[in-house]
Amino acid sequence: MTEGKAARRPGRLKAVAEPRLRMAPPEPEPGLARLGRGWLAAGALLAALAYAGLHTSTFMVRRVSVTGLVQLSQAQVAAAADILPGTYLWQVRPWTVERHLASLALLRSTHVRLLWPNTIAISVSERQPVALLDVGESADLEVDARGRVIALAAPPGEAATGDLLPTPHVPVVHGVTAAAGARPGQVLTDPALGDALQVAEGLGAQGQSLLGSLSVDPQGLVTAQLSSGLQVQFGDGSHARQKTEILLGLLRTIAARNMHADAINLTSTTAPSVHLVTAPPPHTTVLQAAAASGGGTATPAVQGQASTPKPTAKAGAGTATKP
């Protein structure tokens, strides 16, 4: 052992002091970051206020306004729109309402708008009925020009009840048995009905004002019964407007000459025929009304006077003559 040095004890390590790590002080937060956090807080507050404001009764749907109605009622359209009580205006989707309204077969088109703060405005266009089908049931069928059943209507002379609409001022068609059991939205494809609808549409407002009813047989031959009792054979539905003009001209001529007819055959537009009788017409006023209304075409002439109970007058090119 070396002199002057203390002997090192075996098995003991000399402790070595390690340097301490010193943390640098945090740098001050940039002003932009503090500003961003402030904006986020303000945005959250505004969103909360907006949410609370939109859920006030001010924005709850209070009125459904419907324009363009003729046969349907405001209540029927509002019910079909399916706006639940307590709905807020901002929850309404116009295209969803329009889809609900498509369930009403009488509506041709719809347009929905939101009027703030609490009104739904619906403008509609209805399909126009051209005939009322008598199918022997408790309700008649309204059909448009394409044969679509657009509504159930109360039979003539009866009041509308429940889902039955008032009777429209359109011709009543008898004899279309294939339409029994049809419901709104269904399109009828019976060819005989197609002929009847062509005649009903071709009559127009002036012809329909004189009409009592139409009947059609399985072959599509249409016969009109005027309110005066006079029968008019239209044949099929072709040239319905032209046949109507000829009919109005013949009625004016018959009334002007104080003659009485109980049947007119318009099956051929080039050779219509008139059946004349001698008895004084109990419906002279109806024929005179037709004469006064005018028809827009040249008036066919009726030559001679009826002298027997059953004379038949035939005409060429719209001219009725007595043999």
Torsion of CA 200, 204, 207, 212, to 10 degrees: 40
For residue 160, what are the domain limits? 128-188
Residue 140 lies inside a defined structural domain of this protein: yes
Same domain, 206 and 108: no
Residue 70 lies inside a defined structural domain of this protein: yes
If one counts the domains in the chain, the total is: 3
Same domain, 88 and 179: no
- Name, in order, each residue with C-beta under 8 angstroms of 220's C-beta and a sequence gap of 6 or more: 191, 192, 194, 195, 196, 236, 237
Same domain, 199 and 321: yes
Residue 14 lies inside a defined structural domain of this protein: no
| pLDDT tens per residue across span 216-273 | 998 889 999 999 999 999 999 999 999 999 999 999 999 998 888 999 999 999 999 9
Same domain, 182 and 198: no
Residue 166 lies inside a defined structural domain of this protein: yes
Residue 67 lies inside a defined structural domain of this protein: yes
Reported as a pLDDT band with limits 50, 70 and 90, residue 314 is very low
Last residue of a domain, one of 105, 126, 147: 126
Same domain, 74 and 97: yes
What's the pLDDT at 121?
Answer: 96
DSSP state of 89: G
Of 83-87, 164-168, 211-215, 260-264, the least confident:
164-168
Last residue of a domain, one of 173, 188, 203: 188
Same domain, 222 and 320: yes
